[in-house]
Structure 1
């Protein structure tokens, strides 16, 4: 009876087109999940310190983008509200399970993960490796906090929703989408401390672009892989090669319980003789060592034959990370190590 009365009032104009129109449109809108984790996108200036601090919930951020309700019904999950510098192996597995749980709902078309930019590319890669669903998952953040007059968070959030609803989004893997550019989780990296044009994929290039009229996809990432989410996260340390390094940090990592070590090397994967000796020692004790390059583009490869060159490290038993950044080489090791520490098996995963 009440429903019929509302319909009659709507038709005769006493309620106007608003009630009937909104109820029909709302019922037809696709449903998108938003998972809030924190980051600059959720920060505002503290009135006392005048520095950005966590302040906004996922609901707050969604409410700040009125156009969202015109294209989708949004379901918000408040996972955390922390700077992305606090994200890591202690939180990543729970986030992966939560996103998979959300995507298992047939009504959900995809998920947007709100995240800080400092570790956004790492979280994206962890999710890309472990999520079971092929529904689109878009990670976004902001370089400017919500107190800034030109905050970039709202635009990034709207663009992420448009991307999820676009043709070609299913099966594209986890992406990072800021400043209109769509990047694959495996290749993307942060390149600028403050500029809104900070994420790119180096020589691989972007996947596509969220334009004013539509979302344009240009390619897909061909080197994606999915691995089982382990029951526990092993300890994997990251050590950098630097001029004059004596190998003590490599030995210390192994002696204090590291189950694998990623070494951030020069060039094609090179270091000095002292680092070579330390790496050979820990490998002989059963601790895998993965060599990645700190160079922006290109691959870590076993080319040079001087002591400490990549070829000698390969002969010592090191695994080479190819074009994965040191941070992402560590993430792949975190997920792979519980299944295998065998060098050939690990190398196969890094080569895929």
Structure 2
């Protein structure tokens, strides 16, 4: 007789709009709901099934950073190891949801579904989207087809891979998109359907209790490179450059990048362009090719903020040779 599959889902709450209500005194939304109170908003929307609640924190997502990621990943890993849990839903503010989802995707070791969701409209709004998104996430959590796909981002009945998901609109409920790659799947009524699986998966074990500092510095017309130098002076172990086009900077930025590379600071080059990623192809000073020749690595299709997370994890144990870093970004 085959073993009975568990149906219990773990709900980890971290704050964000999905647990926010309008404060009558200020007219402004604040994260105030507990996980149990969030579950109570599902009445009349559908049956959440068996859910256990873990209130990890209750903050706006701009206040979530590497320290919280480390603690959250430890909690999620311990829950995923339990035989009585089918999967995990993490509720999160949408501002930095994709960052947290990508971190979890990189460090967690589990075949069980881990679904990150949130809301664009708070619980005081008449069209609060939190209940629909939470129910959708719980359905995915129990779907056998969701196993082995890594961390998923699910809002508005669409499913994205953590690597590909990005917030594209500040208020639209259809905010999370996967760019040129497209959604992994969708949820219609009670049916969870996947159209494809993520082709690119990367795992970097979390080995440190605190992650090394990595800063993001933007290239723009007339950039002096002073912020590259300042980041290194402030103790950054790595710098992600948000370059233009397919990974280019001006000569001043290129000079500053070369100088910090000589000081042992790792540099990854991403782009401000949402699609296409970085690639070599030009030979002018400051081009992606010249930066790579100087010892920087190209981040490929990763956004600057996702490239930063890879670089932080890669540098946990100290400096890493550029060819080894390049292999990580190529995976």
Q: Deviations over 1:196-255 (max 9, x none)?
A: 000011011110001124111011111112111131200000000011100000001011
Structure 1 position 199 matched with structure 2 position 203: no
Contact 2:6 2:86 (8 Å CA) reproduced: no
What aligned pairs does 1:113-192 form with structure 2 within 5 A after superposition? 113-192=90-169
What aligned pairs does 1:327-346 form with structure 2 within 5 A after superposition? 327-339=305-317, 340-346=319-325
Number of residue-to-residue matches in the alignment:
326
**Whole-angstrom distance in 2 between the partners of 1:185 and 1:200:** 10
What aligned pairs does 1:31-46 form with structure 2 within 5 A after superposition? 31-46=8-23
Structure 1 position 229 matched with structure 2 position 206: yes
Contact 1:39 1:116 (8 Å CA) reproduced: yes
What secondary structure, in the 3-state scheme, does the structure 2 residue paired with 1:257 have?
A: coil
- Please report how far the alpha carbon of residue 55 of structure 1 lies from its aligned counterpart in structure 2 after TM superposition: 1.2
**Whole-angstrom distance in 2 between the partners of 1:102 and 1:145:** 28
**Whole-angstrom distance in 2 between the partners of 1:269 and 1:154:** 41
Instruction: Give 1 or 2 for the bigger CA radius of gyration.
Output: 1
- Please report how far the alpha carbon of residue 166 of structure 1 lies from its aligned counterpart in structure 2 after TM superposition: 1.8
Cα RMSD after superposing both structures: 1.5
1:348 aligned residue (309, 327, 331): 327
Contact 1:146 1:153 (8 Å CA) reproduced: yes
Q: Deviations over 1:243-300 (max 9, x none)?
A: 1100000001011100000000001001100000000000011101100011010111
* Counterpart for residue 240 of structure 1: 218
Instruction: Give the structure with the higher percent helix.
Output: 1
- Please report how far the alpha carbon of residue 113 of structure 1 lies from its aligned counterpart in structure 2 after TM superposition: 0.2
What aligned pairs does 1:83-94 form with structure 2 within 5 A after superposition? 83-94=60-71
What secondary structure, in the 3-state scheme, does the structure 2 residue paired with 1:261 have?
A: strand
* Counterpart for residue 241 of structure 2: 263
Structure 1 position 289 matched with structure 2 position 261: no
**Whole-angstrom distance in 1 between the partners of 2:203 and 2:6:** 31
* Counterpart for residue 108 of structure 1: 85
- Please report how far the alpha carbon of residue 71 of structure 1 lies from its aligned counterpart in structure 2 after TM superposition: 5.2
Contact 2:5 2:86 (8 Å CA) reproduced: no
* Counterpart for residue 7 of structure 1: none
Greater than 4 Å deviation, 4+ residue runs: none
- Please report how far the alpha carbon of residue 46 of structure 1 lies from its aligned counterpart in structure 2 after TM superposition: 0.6
Contact 2:45 2:132 (8 Å CA) reproduced: no
TM-score by length of 2: 0.96
Structure 1 position 276 matched with structure 2 position 254: yes
**Whole-angstrom distance in 1 between the partners of 2:47 and 2:284:** 62
What secondary structure, in the 3-state scheme, does the structure 2 residue paired with 1:219 have?
A: coil
Q: Which runs of 5+ in 2 are unaligned?
A: none
- Please report how far the alpha carbon of residue 72 of structure 1 lies from its aligned counterpart in structure 2 after TM superposition: 2.0
What secondary structure, in the 3-state scheme, does the structure 1 residue paired with 2:67 have?
A: coil
**Whole-angstrom distance in 1 between the partners of 2:235 and 2:297:** 19
* Counterpart for residue 303 of structure 1: 281
Structure 1 position 314 matched with structure 2 position 292: yes
- Please report how far the alpha carbon of residue 186 of structure 1 lies from its aligned counterpart in structure 2 after TM superposition: 0.4
- Please report how far the alpha carbon of residue 68 of structure 1 lies from its aligned counterpart in structure 2 after TM superposition: 8.2
**Whole-angstrom distance in 2 between the partners of 1:97 and 1:164:** 19
Indicate how the Cα distance of structure 1 residues 257 and 227 shifts in structure 2: closer, same or farther if over 3 A, else same: same
- Please report how far the alpha carbon of residue 30 of structure 1 lies from its aligned counterpart in structure 2 after TM superposition: 1.4
What secondary structure, in the 3-state scheme, does the structure 2 residue paired with 1:65 have?
A: coil
- Please report how far the alpha carbon of residue 334 of structure 1 lies from its aligned counterpart in structure 2 after TM superposition: 1.0
TM-score by length of 1: 0.90
Indicate how the Cα distance of structure 1 residues 273 and 152 shifts in structure 2: closer, same or farther if over 3 A, else same: same
